[in-house]
Structure 1
Amino acid sequence: MKINSSGSGVRVFIVVAALFMIAGYSYAQEQTIKLIDEKHNKPIDDVYFKYAESTGFSDAQGRISFVYRQGESLNLSHVSFGKVLFTDEQVQKALEEGFVMLTESENYLMPVTLIKVRPDGGLPSRMDLSVQNKLEHDAGSLLESVPSVSSIRKSGAYGFDPVLRGFKYDQVNLVLDGVQTASAACPNRMDPAASQIPVNMIVQAEVLKGPHNLRYGNVFGGTINFKSTAPAFKSKTTPLGRIGSSYESNGNIYRTEGVAGVSGQTVDFRMFGAYSTGEDYTDGDGKDIPAQFNRLNWGGKLGLKLSNSQKLGILVSNNVAKDVDFPALPMDLREDNTWLINASHSAVFYGKALSNWETSVYATMVDHLMDNYEKVIEPRMVDAETNADTRNYGGRSELRFDFESSHLYGGLDYRFETADGFRTREMLMGPMAGKILTDNVWQDAQVQRTGIFGEWHIHQHGFQFVVSGRLDFNSSKANNPSENFSAIYNDLDSKIVHPSVSFGGTRLFNEKVSLGMYLGMATRSPGITERYINQFPVGLDPYEMLGNPDLNPEINNQLDIVFQYQAANTNISANVFTSVLRDFISSEIREDLDPAMATSPGVRQFVNIKKALMTGFEINWTQQYTAFLSHNLSISYTHGENQVLDEALPEIPPLDFRYRLMATFAKDKLQPEILFRYSAKQDRIATSYGETKTPDFMVVDSKVSWHTKSFLTTTAGIQNLFDTAYYEHLARSVRGADARPMYSPGRSFYLTLTLSFL
């Protein structure tokens, strides 16, 4: 019995030992792969994976672990990278290398420019901007780094209104996080939507050119989508922060900004703030240009990780601008107070065709006050002020479906916009001295837009196709019309249903060369200004503008051809476009109407132009000469033609040429840079709008950045190195006795310091 018992014990021991050996062998065979974003070279967390019986999510370092089994495939799924299948051979290669590079599924071979606004250091590239851009108080100025984007300037320091390829105002769809929008309360657009963006919370701006991406609202000439900082959930609760400050000598401009917060496994909370102030600057001729401004922005962003598949976000931002000089306008900005609030929810679905569902709602409230009390006017005939406000409410819900060789977006959006305000005039001279007159500027007008959209990306071997479309339901009315306006039109209400559609594709000849062609037809209903502005000077000349509720929607038939060559050290891209425009919204003088202000030469009414044409191109060449030297060259040009009057379309920027030379030394810590810009003369002008020719100019900027620590960056530079006297074609002229074009600043020295622990 003892022998039998001993034998039984030996057998038990052998079985147990064998189990431990098998378990140990299995454990030893568990291997790890790191998932890396190919575009940004950063780990990707929250990627769902399935390998044999193993499932789970990548951690904060982008790592997934599993036991290798011969013949098994690896399935990955992520909202931004789609669904990816790795064969057994590819899995073996990934295990040998220890990592996998993933590329976002979005089709960025379309006509698009990406601007990455980053708070840290690193090698500059075509799409990255320096830390100084976090300190910009106006996103319109930030966008001017894109050659195809110019700005209408009515002030030397504030309220830059973006113009994309000659398209402007409501023809450019400007949104925050793909949904939120703001409407200028000022009839003169002292506060365009770009001025309301909290720049120091922006990480990227997408400049989507043409009517080809229809997901973010009704688009006519293009979309500019500002993306705010995304939550960065961490395994351990970690404090984070950044603070930056800068000074510019010409204009005595001080800027400061900061972010402070905490990030944990389920919560990411950040408070942000920025304050900027400046005085008059001196142009290259030594003349002073009124440019005083004060701008405060503050707010917070909360991200909640409800689960591995659901997230919730809330953003609140408040912008306050005070005492801003607008030398090109009859009034100055006294105060502009804007609140932006939005909430978003996203849900990810794994193992299903439906991969993502995102929903956002928002509210934007703008209160604006402007007056002429500080203007030097001789003789002063009237004191005037305008108190106005706009409100925007809306939302967006979008589903994404991932299939074997394509992905599809579908959803709906809604925008409600209203504008109200009055101009008060106290007559100081003449027979009406002492009287106070009130003008109903906005007539409590409103516009509602409801849209249904879809976008299908098809991936085939050597080809990528995109089909995009939307249907918009647009209605508008004036709740408090003035008598003079009602006397001109029979019906002030409008209801329009209009479609937009785009189709295109890119041929990938090899890993270096691609050629794309995109054809789009977009329709745009007139905005509140074009429909209901009531005799207020909002255009290029001092004529009072009269809205027209009878306007037809604009139609843009546009073709874009995109070529790209990308090698290890060289990237060349070219984009040629042509827009055939129908019912293009312009204006004409009404000789039968008298202006409200005696200083105005007359009244212009918004009208449709039957035929107009825009065509142009953009070229970009980036090259890494050596390990420490690189350069970037870009050229952009737009030609606009009013085919009815046989003259140029107004406010079309001239040919723009830029060359940037960059270097890195001391292990990327020292980064000098020089930028040369040439703007050609613009002699193709619309004389019927009072437009004048603009001479060409050349300007040189230089800077050097020093990354002393991983968290500390110092930048010093000189803007307009040779103190050139120049002005932009889209800059309005200074009013008053010394009327002249509003010249840009002369030579200015600046210093920026940033500490970042993000």
Structure 2
Amino acid sequence: MTPARSLLSLAITAALTGTSFSLAYAETTPQTSPVKASESGLVIEITKGQQQEILSQSLESVQPAPVTDGGELLKSINGISGTRMGGRAIDPIIRGQKQTAVNVLLDGAYLHGGCPNRMDPPTTYTAVDSYDWITVIKGNRTVQYGSGGSGGTVLFERKWPSFSDKPVTGSVSSSYETNGEKWELAADVAAGSDQGYIRVIGHTAEGDNYDDGNGDEVRSAYQSQSGTLMAGYAISNNTRLQGSFEKTEETDVLFAGAGMDSPYARAENIRLKLDHTFTEGSLKTLKAELYRSDVEHMMDNYSLREFTASMKMDAPSTSDTQGGRLVLTGVTNRIDWLAGFDLQDNTRNANQQLPTMMDKIAGIQWPDANIRQIGVFAEAEKAINGSNRLKGGLRVDQVEASASRSDEAFTGGGLAGKTPEDLYGTSKVKQTETNIGGFAQWSHNINALFQWDTIVSRSVRTADATERYIATSKWIGNPELEPEKHHQLEGILSVNMGAAKGSVSGWMNKVDDYILRSNVTGKDRYTNVDATLMGIEAEASHRINAKWLFSTQLAWIQGENDDNGEALSQISPLELRAKARYLQNNWQAGLELVSAAKQTDVCLYDDTDCGGQDVRETPSYWVANLDARYQVLDSLTLDAGINNLFDKAYTLHESRNDSFNPDPVQVMEPGRSLWLKAHYSF
């Protein structure tokens, strides 16, 4: 397989029970190892507790249709949903938790979006075909990828290419969708050998407004371009150095679920990685990584839409993140272990400006907000006997948060003369925290068929820049927020009977100081409350014979504010997926049915007793999707399909709305869409 993959060489570690690589696996397959080969072009690694299996399947097993970004791909996985504001920028939600409760790393680097309203979550800057490997870790079962991550962790990764006997390898792919006339073109070319390589990746995409199932046009157009230059050099047989530069630009992005659109968003990422393997002693590997991610973003309410507001307004913003990590792994007394430290430093600036009044400042969304986190961590894993294995980890983080412009006065609008501190009601904007988290996992092989896993954990999520420091007339932060403390318990039962496989997971998350956004007399404010989240995820698959494969997935989540007994906002309803796939020689076809129950456990924005983020009780729905693939040549594949076959009109419950709109609505999902994909590798 080439570094550009047969269709897309992507590996997704995603079990419905929540997944992660085992420590032993991470040691034997470091980040610099070649991308694994698969006849169908996709390797899906599923880890059920400590039980790992590798299934070689085509991309259809995850999401056969084209996706606009990483967030849209992730919401195809059981237990993961997404927030939609337009045609792009799907913000992933794992187990009812979103935004900074989900750690997203782009090839080892943190990138925090430039929009206070989440028009550009980190997954926006992921051209899916430019990555080789995606790991999804549900819940808290590792401490090595940064603080927080109580909902989960998602790793988008690129690997050291494998060249075999060809000095140059690559691929070209393209797709088109009828609804919204969306198209994309991608190229990925690498040249080199095991001693070193140069890799160039390019991606461009464009879409117009799509129609929903009622035939109504939804403002969702976008343009996107990205380019990546990577290079690697083997300093010795045991030491490799890699570097990369990546630039992404989004232009003319429309958002039906917001009061503004985005004329542009730009991101630049620089990464440097060093990997070393020790040949003697208890030390096994050393990894050192440095990165810098800079984002510029603009949103306004007039340049890309008919101006109907009372006043023109725009909001230029920046988000700059730099950091790094150092990790050692080893084996001592038959105990696999890793230890390391990491640093993440993010600074954000954003003004709400009045362009017709010489850009006077009507609000400061990020007043030069800086959050610095320094963490140390360690994990260990040991096989007690042939049936039992223990694993655990501990993490300590020191957090410093400040806002150097919090005493700056607004110069225009109804807040003229006031400062962010006046809105907060406090001048104590600088805060420090010492946060301690960890986990323990017991894996027990009941017999040759069944395995049981128990995971207990504590993770601490510090308030982000928006929750602490946003300062506008209708949206106000709270610098004195306590960090969230998540205490989770999960039980997993897995079964592997060869042709039939399945697992069931039940989990509960008791949260102290949950950070709640609520509507208080027409203004959105943040407070700490106690909360409980719980859920069940189940999955089963059965290969009837060489031609037929059936699978089904179920996810249920419930969230409650323990302080007042109200439901938490934007919690997914019960969802069921069923898939059937037929394989015959060089072609295959699939049918997927997706059904969601009505969501009645809501906290409505206009409910004075609740004041949550939900627009309404969302109706139930079901949709059907068809797809097919034809292997024309070993190096050429063609895919086609129909999304939303029966042109259903529906919304995801979590989809965004403009909360400050007098008549807010959820953003409708696309109606029927025919699509085509082609991929050629060389």
Q: Report the TM-score range of the alignment, normalised by the length of the smaller protein.
A: 0.7 to 0.9
1:30-41 equivalences under 5 Å are: none
Match of 1:585 among 500, 512, 515: 515
2:589 maps to: 672
- What stretches of structure 1 of length at least 5 have no aligned partner? 1-41, 43-75, 83-103, 117-121, 428-432, 537-543, 592-601
SS at match of 1:187: coil
User: In 1, Cα distance between the equivalents of 2:176 and 2:139?
Assistant: 37
**Cα separation, 2, equivalents of 1:360 and 1:435:** 40
Which residue of structure 1 aligns with residue 73 of structure 2? 142
Counterpart check, 1:651 vs 2:570: yes
The 3 A distance-change label for structure 1 pair 437 and 110 is same
CA distance in 2, matches of 1:570, 1:125: 20
Q: Which amino acid aligns with 1:80?
A: T
Partner of 2:634: 710
Q: Contact between 2:263 and 2:300, CA under 8 Å: does it hold in 1? A: yes
- Select the residue among 254, 257, 261 that pairs with 1:332: 261
- Partners of 1:737 and 1:375 lie apart in 2 by 21
Q: Is the aligned partner of 1:689 residue 2:580?
A: no
Superposition pairs of residues 473-492 of structure 1, within 5 angstroms: 473-481=398-406, 482-483=408-409, 484-487=419-422, 488-492=425-429
What is the deviation of 1:254?
Answer: 0.9
Deviations 1:155-201 (Å, cap 9, x if unpaired)?
Answer: 1x111111111001111111123x31111211111011111124222
Q: Please list, as runs of the form range in 1=range in 2, the aligned pairs for 1:507-586 lying within 5 A after superposition.
A: 507-535=444-472, 544-586=474-516
Q: Which has the larger radius of gyration?
A: 1
Q: What SS is found at the alignment partner of 1:443? A: strand
Which residue identity is paired with 2:49? M
Question: CA contact under 8 A between 1:138 and 1:197: conserved in structure 2?
Answer: yes
Counterpart amino acid of 1:635?
L
Partners of 2:363 and 2:372 lie apart in 1 by: 25
Deviation at 1:434, TM superposition (A): 9.2
- Contact kept? 1:302, 1:315, Cα under 8 Å: yes
Equivalent pairs, count: 626
Q: Is the 8 A contact 1:734 1:742 kept in 2?
A: no
With the length of structure 1 as denominator, give the TM-score of the two structures.
Answer: 0.79
Deviations 1:664-720 (Å, cap 9, x if unpaired)? 102xx1010111000111000012225210000000000100111111000010000
Tell me the distance in 2 between the aligned counterparts of 1:299 and 1:148.
Answer: 31
Partner of 2:547: 628
Q: Is 2:396 the partner of 1:471?
A: yes
* Alpha-carbon distance between aligned partners in 2 of 1:434 and 1:112, rounded to the nearest angstrom: 62
CA distance in 2 between counterparts of 1:456 and 1:739 reads 49
Once the two structures are overlaid, the 10-residue window that deviates more, 685-694 or 217-226, is: 217-226
Aligned-pair CA distance for 1:327: 1.4
The answer to whether structure 1 residue 497 and structure 2 residue 420 are counterparts is no
Amino acid in structure 2 at the alignment position of 1:491: K
Taking structure 1 as reference, are residues 305 and 485 closer, same or farther at Cα in structure 2, changes over 3 Å only? same
Distance 1:442 1:321 in 2: 21
What is the match of residue 342 of structure 1?
271
CA distance in 1, matches of 2:330, 2:312: 59
CA–CA distance in 1 between the matches of 2:367 and 2:50?
Answer: 39
Q: Please tell me the residue identity of whatever aligns with 2:78.
A: P
Report the Cα distance in structure 2 between the residues aligned to 1:371 and 1:227, rounded to whole angstroms: 31
2:231 touches 2:244 (CA, 8 Å); kept in 1?
yes
Q: For residues 125-140 of structure 1, what are the structure 2 equivalents within 5 Å? A: 130=64, 136-140=67-71
Give 1:492 deviation, angstroms.
1.0
Q: Is the CA contact (8 Å cut-off) linking 1:112 and 1:207 kept in structure 2?
A: no
2:649 pairs with 1:719:
no
Return closer, same or farther for 1:445/1:738 CA change in 2, 3 Å cut-off: closer
Tell me the SS of whatever aligns to 1:724. Answer: coil
Match of 2:215 among 263, 283, 286: 286
1:507–1:690 Cα change, 3 Å: closer
- Match for 2:583: what amino acid? T
How many Å separate the matches in 2 of 1:108 and 1:458? 17
Supply the distance in 1 between the matched residues of 2:570 and 2:53 (Cα, whole angstroms). Answer: 25
Letter in 1 for 2:599: Q
Match of residue 538, structure 2, among 619, 629, 639: 619
Native 8 Å contact 2:387 2:444 kept in 1: yes
Judged with a 3 Å threshold, the aligned counterparts in structure 2 of structure 1 residues 114 and 201 are, in CA distance, closer, same or farther, namely farther
Structure 2, unmatched stretches of 5+, are 1-8, 10-23, 31-42, 410-418, 605-610
Q: How big is the shift at 1:223? A: 3.1
Q: 2:193 aligns with which of 264, 273, 283?
A: 264
Distance 2:358 2:135 in 1: 52
AA aligned to 1:493 is: K
Between the aligned partners of 2:96 and 2:465, the Cα distance in structure 1 is 20
Greater CA drift, 167-176 or 362-371? 167-176
Secondary structure of the structure 2 residue equivalent to 1:200: helix
Equivalent residue for 1:73?
A: none
Secondary structure of the residue aligned to 1:194 is helix
Letter in 1 for 2:591: I
Further displaced range: 107-116 or 689-698: 107-116
1:531 & 1:112 partners in 2: Cα distance?
A: 41
8 Å Cα contact 1:77/1:350 also seen in 2:
no
2:681 partner letter:
S
Structure 2 vs 1, CA of residues 659 and 168 (structure 1 numbering), >3 Å: closer, same or farther? same
Look up the match of 1:68: none
Contact 1:159–1:195 (CA under 8 A) maintained in structure 2: yes
Q: d(CA) in 2 for partners of 1:333 and 1:655?
A: 33
Matched to 2:602, the amino acid is: I
Please give the alpha-carbon distance, in whole angstroms, between the structure 2 residues aligned to 1:590 and 1:510.
Answer: 55
Distance 1:589 1:291, change over 3 A: closer
Which structure's relative contact order is higher, taking Cα pairs within 8 Å and 6+ residues apart? 2
Give the 3 Å change call, closer, same or farther, for CA 652–706 of structure 1 in structure 2: same
Q: Does the CA-based 8 Å contact 1:373-1:383 persist in structure 2?
A: yes
Match of 1:351 among 280, 289, 293: 280
CA distance in structure 2 between the aligned counterparts of 1:509 and 1:407, rounded to whole angstroms: 23
Cα distance in 1 between the residues matched to 2:603 and 2:210: 30
Find the residue that maps to 1:170 and give its secondary structure: helix
Distance of 1:197 and 1:441 partners within structure 2: 25
What is the CA-CA distance between 1:479 and the residue it aligns to? 1.3
Return the match for 1:456 from 380, 399, 417: 380
Task: Determine helix, strand or coil for the equivalent of 1:195.
Answer: helix
> Quick one: which amino acid aligns to residue 315 of structure 1?
S
1:561 is displaced (CA, Å) by 0.6
Equivalent residues of 2:259, 2:658 under 8 A apart = no
Query: Per-residue deviation at 1:229?
Result: 2.7
Deviation at 1:589, TM superposition (A): 4.6
Give 3-state SS (helix, strand or coil) of 1:546's partner.
Answer: coil
Q: Deviations over 1:353-398 (max 9, x none)?
A: 1000001000000000111114656754211111000000000000
**Residue type of the partner of 1:685?**
V
- Which residue does 2:673 correspond to in 1? 748
Deviations 1:480-501 (A, max 9, x none): 1134222321311001101001
Structure 1 residues 514 and 684: CA distance shift in structure 2, 3 A: same
CA–CA distance in structure 2, aligned partners of residues 215 and 375 of structure 1: 42
Q: Say whether the 8 Å CA contact 2:71–2:89 is kept in structure 1.
A: yes
Q: Aligned in 2, Cα 1:320/1:112: closer, same or farther, shift over 3 Å?
A: farther
Give the Cα–Cα distance (whole angstroms) in 1 for the partners of residues 667 and 26 of structure 2: 50
One-letter amino acid matched to 1:163:
I
Q: CA deviation at 1:291?
A: 1.2
Please provide the CA RMSD for this pair.
2.6
